[in-house]
Amino acid sequence: MRWITALLFLPALVAQNVQTATLANGMKVIIQEDHNIPNVAMYFFYKIGSRNERPGITGISHFFEHMMFNGAKKYGPKQFDNEMEKAGGNNNASTGEDLTTYTDWFPSSALELMFDMESDRIRDLALDPKMVASERGVVYSERRTSVDNNNRGILEEQLQAAAFIAHPYHWPVVGWPSDIEAWTQQDLKDYFAIGYAPNNCTMVVVGDVTVARVMELAKKYIEPIPRHEPPPPVRTKEPEQLGERRIVVRKAAQLPLQMIAYHVPEAKNPDSIVLDLVSTVLSTGQSSRLYKRMVDEEPLALSVNGRAGDALDPTLMIFTIQPRNGVDPARTEKVLYEELARLQTTEISARELQKAKNQLLTQHYNRLKTIAGRASLLGHYDVIFGDYNKMFTIDKDFEAVTAADIQRVAKKYFTEKNRTVATLIPEGGARK
Amino acid sequence: MKTVLVFFAAASLQFGQAKLPQYTKETLPNGAVIAMMPRSGVPLVYFRVLIKGGVESDPADKAGLANVTASLLRRGTAKRSAEQFAEELDYLGGTFGSSGQGGRGGGGEGQLESATVISSEFLSKDFDQGLDLLADAVLHPAFTESEVRKELARRVDGAKAMKDNAQGSIGAYFRASFFGKDHPYGHPPDEMSYSLIGRNDIAAYHSKFYCGKNLLIVVTGDFDPAAAKAKLAQVFGAAPAGSAYTWSTVPAPARKGQMLLIDKSDATQTYFQIAQPGIDNKNPDRTTLEIINTLFGGRFTSMLNDELRVNSGLTYGANSQLEQERLPGAIVISTYTKNDTTAQAMDMALEVLKRLNEKGITAAQLASAKAYVKGLYPTRRLETMDQLAALIGEIELYGLGRDEVDGYFGRIDAITLEQANATIKKYYQTGNLTFVVLGAADKIREQVKKYDPHATEVSIKTAGWGDR
């Protein structure tokens, strides 16, 4: 059995040149010098997202992210982008359920400008009512694109809302339409006060910088911003699901679409890495079980994948299946359950488990190739897992997972009581 | 702290200049070209195989043939069944295809208009096994009848599934409309073209195109160049020489005023593109146009995004794309807005175009765009081994020369305001534009009639891309 001993041979992942510090106002700074290209990735991870919202202001974290580009005290409307692009830089930002992340990429010559502009908007965001009105239209257009006119987007929104009845993961990050239309100036001011505390943020700088220079600028621009209360803890816990939930979305479409979700734990739970391996065994690569069964051997699906993101609170593993033309979604659903049952009843072979570990590890490697990829991972691990060092020991964490762990976790989470089934049925079609 | 995972030290690049690191190039006796750029650091090796031909080599009635052939390479070979191939590849954590993340499902090949691109990455220690997998697929595919049938059937359904995403499908309608049937870029594959492809077409395409004289193999990353050269020469040198594909010659698409309206009755948002003829990838105006297009619609503060998103809130984003392929392409404005502001947004986009044409740009704008393009170039093109391999592939495929990179910043610096404004007049015109509009026809037909009273209208439910 030479296969089984053929473990992936990799150099140990070592946290190279990573340095951290905490400013007097509580903001954490993580720095990695890398002089390969004369560029810098500077990311800010604010621990605020849709999980910190409440009915009436759903989507406000995301809206806020947009407003962070619409003018502060020193740099007025449009100036953040204008100054940045003129200096050879580019930016984006994203909002999720747990975090709002601001991502800046620029030549190292623009480092001080970026500190100046980032500190300006963290400290003194303007929230000009005219800009609020226009940005509302932008966000609504984003919603129309990512949800209302996107079958995957709309089905996932409905699925989440059904799977979570109490926890804030119930509502969509982009917000319900009525809230997008209704949030007020005061709502935004209140939200800024709770979310954008320096002590609620981790800053990551990777690239053509020196630690000394970054710290000097951080002390000059960021440290004087006073700390304040972070968002209150999210109290609500999702109660245990008591039975299968099924929902249907009827919409004009060429093909049906199916999403099947199971509640799974938060990222810090030891089962979450086992679930990463489970989803890899099931749906990563053409050798994965679901691809082979549903896409290749039987003409049931165009694509199938299952994944659970790393989340602060218990989340979902969602299987998304695109049935083939003329295939009854009841059939793809049944086949998924057969494959999940197989994981529960038969222990996975050592070779198949090792394959999944190798796949996940090389994927992880691939994300370390760029300064942007490393800035993203350093922040993600620091904020979601509580320690960026986790990203350098992930090989050992994978290695520790056994076939028995896979079976135990499959039995624990893939149960009928724990699942929500969402199906998009083409309008006018006669499919069940 | 001990450093084990070292990232490759550059020294190839300082601020203010761009320089392509050295690579070697060798032509094998059968005509295959091997280009290598060894760089120590991340313990990965990246292969990029280009097969000259691509979309433009598709027979007019069998659009998709080059792409289907590429998808089937790994679905069974002389040595391995499709299942064995997938298992071995995944066990190594390797990739084969264009996704870079293991080719989850689907095809697994990249496509330029003028070449098929196979990209594959492995850990350096797996160089031999990786190369064996790659070459087995590229040179010895089996094309079994059952795999061919499965692939084609999936593609027919895939063409339907694509139409459930308005944003994802408008591009195919655009290509059919702008380039037209007689142009190789103008027939995106559809249900009918797939139904005309058979196993014999695929096998014949493979034996004609996957031969020494059409092969370019680029290898970058952490590997021993001497050992690699011998192995690559042995493996790819064994391919028959065949005959080199000669680029097709077709007239550039004419400037024509027309509109295609695609009806998606449930749409709450209208997606539209407005286009006019642009350039090919060797055009002497190309660097100037890149700078101009950056200002017009190539970045967040661009004229289009500023007007349609930032000032008016009509859309989440508006941009202009400058296509650069072997044959002249288009300059395309793209955006979307809610149904009842369709004409307002289209008028605004046309107004921004008119303003650019009439007023040109200022010295400050020119300076800003130059800094922007230069500042981001390293992260876009020179940072990773796959980016460098892609650059080498383009340079060798199109015969561009390394000055394409090394002289790039110099060419940008040399652009004058007068030259930029003259180039605007030449390319960014306001008449005879091609409009492609996708939305709920009943709600927008009256609004958009003014752009072309004789617009062609097609339902998204109709097979094809408005050209059937």
pLDDT tens-digit map of A330-354? 999 999 999 999 999 999 999 999 9
Q: pLDDT at position A10, please?
A: 42
pLDDT at B196 over 90: yes
Question: Amino acid letter at B273?
Answer: Q
Q: For A270-293, what is the mean pLDDT?
A: 98
- Residue of A161, A135, A168 whose CA lies nearest to A56: A168
Strands B279-280, B324-325: pairing kind: parallel
| Rounded Cα distance, A335 and A329, in Å | 10
All structural domains of chain A: 16-222 (3.30.830.10), 245-426 (3.30.830.10)
User: Which residues from chain A sit within 8 angstroms of residue B338, using beta carbons?
Assistant: 140-141, 144
Judged by CB atoms within 8 Å, which residues 107-126 of A form the interface with B?
A: 107-110
User: Which residues from chain A sit within 8 angstroms of residue B121, using beta carbons?
Assistant: 366
Chain-centre distance for alpha carbon A244: 26
| Rounded Cα distance, B162 and B69, in Å | 20
Closest residue to B10, CB basis, from A37, A286, A302: A37
User: A255, A406 in Cβ contact below 8 A?
Assistant: no
Q: Are residues B57 and B102 in the same domain?
A: yes
- Residue of A343, A283, A96 whose CA lies nearest to B101: A283
pLDDT band, residue B42 (cuts 50/70/90): confident
| Rounded Cα distance, B378 and B18, in Å | 7
pLDDT band, residue A428 (cuts 50/70/90): low
Tell me if B272 is assigned to some domain: yes
On average, the pLDDT of chain A sits at: 93
pLDDT band, residue B249 (cuts 50/70/90): confident
Task: State the greatest distance between any 2 C-alpha atoms of chain B, in Å, as a whole number.
Answer: 71
* Helix (H), strand (E) counts: chain B: 17, 15
Q: Are residues B172 and B262 in the same domain?
A: no
The total number of structural domains that make up chain B: 2
Tell me if B321 is assigned to some domain: yes
pLDDT band, residue A61 (cuts 50/70/90): very high
User: B409, B290 in Cβ contact below 8 A?
Assistant: no
A360 token code pair: 């996940």
Judged by CB atoms within 8 Å, which residues 230-259 of A form the interface with B?
A: 251-255, 257
Q: For A56-78, what is the mean pLDDT?
A: 95
CATH of the domain at B438: 3.30.830.10
What separation in angstroms does the CA of B443 have from each of A277, B253, B268?
48, 31, 9
∠B242-B247-B249 over CA atoms, to 5°?
145
Q: Are residues B71 and B200 in the same domain?
A: yes
Query: Which site among B12, B74, B90 would you substitute to test the A interface, given the most A Cβ atoms closer than 10 Å to its Cβ?
Result: B90
pLDDT band, residue B112 (cuts 50/70/90): low
Burial category of A404 from C-beta neighbours within 10 Å (exposed 0-12, middle 13-18, buried 19 and up): exposed
Question: Is A144 in the B-facing interface, judged by CB distances under 8 Å?
Answer: yes
Residues B134-147 have pLDDT tens digits of 999 999 999 999 99
Question: Amino acid letter at B242?
Answer: G
Q: For A191-197, what is the mean pLDDT?
A: 88
pLDDT at B109 over 80: no
Residue linked to tokens 């199906």: A423
What separation in angstroms does the CA of B104 have from each of A31, A260, A366, B8, B95?
33, 19, 15, 28, 10
Partners of B27 in beta bridges: B33
pLDDT at B99 over 80: no
Q: Are residues B275 and B233 in the same domain?
A: no
On average, the pLDDT of chain B sits at: 91
The complex's ipTM?
Answer: 0.92
Question: Is B100 in the A-facing interface, judged by CB distances under 8 Å?
Answer: yes
Tell me if B128 is assigned to some domain: yes
Cβ count within 10 A of residue A104: 24
Question: Is A138 in the B-facing interface, judged by CB distances under 8 Å?
Answer: yes
Closest residue to B8, CB basis, from A36, A90, A138: A36
Query: Is pLDDT larger for residue A231 or for residue A15?
Result: A231
User: B211, B243 in Cβ contact below 8 A?
Assistant: yes
pLDDT band, residue B111 (cuts 50/70/90): low
Helical packing angle, B363-377 and A79-86, nearest 10° = 70
Tell me if B71 is assigned to some domain: yes
Q: For A298-312, what is the mean pLDDT?
A: 96
Q: pLDDT at position A429, please?
A: 45
| Rounded Cα distance, A374 and A30, in Å | 11
User: What secondary structure letter does DSSP report for B77?
Assistant: B
Question: Amino acid letter at B3?
Answer: T
What separation in angstroms does the CA of A30 have from each of A387, A400, B1?
11, 28, 16
Q: For A216-244, what is the mean pLDDT?
A: 96
pLDDT at B104 over 80: no
Q: pLDDT at position A13, please?
A: 45
Residue linked to tokens 């550039």: B252
- Residue of A425, A129, A106, A385 whose CA lies nearest to A257: A425
Q: Are residues B172 and B288 in the same domain?
A: no
User: Which residues from chain B sit within 8 angstroms of residue A370, using beta carbons?
Assistant: 379, 383-384
Range of the domain at B190: 24-237
Q: Are residues B310 and B407 in the same domain?
A: yes
Tell me if B334 is assigned to some domain: yes
Q: pLDDT at position A71, please?
A: 95
Q: Give the number of beta-carbon pairs within 8 Å between A and B.
A: 244
Tell me if B398 is assigned to some domain: yes
User: Which residues from chain A sit within 8 angstroms of residue B383, using beta carbons?
Assistant: 36-37, 39, 369-371
What separation in angstroms does the CA of A394 have from each of A34, A77, A385?
22, 43, 12
Q: pLDDT at position A7, please?
A: 34
Query: Is pLDDT larger for residue B110 or for residue B235?
Result: B235
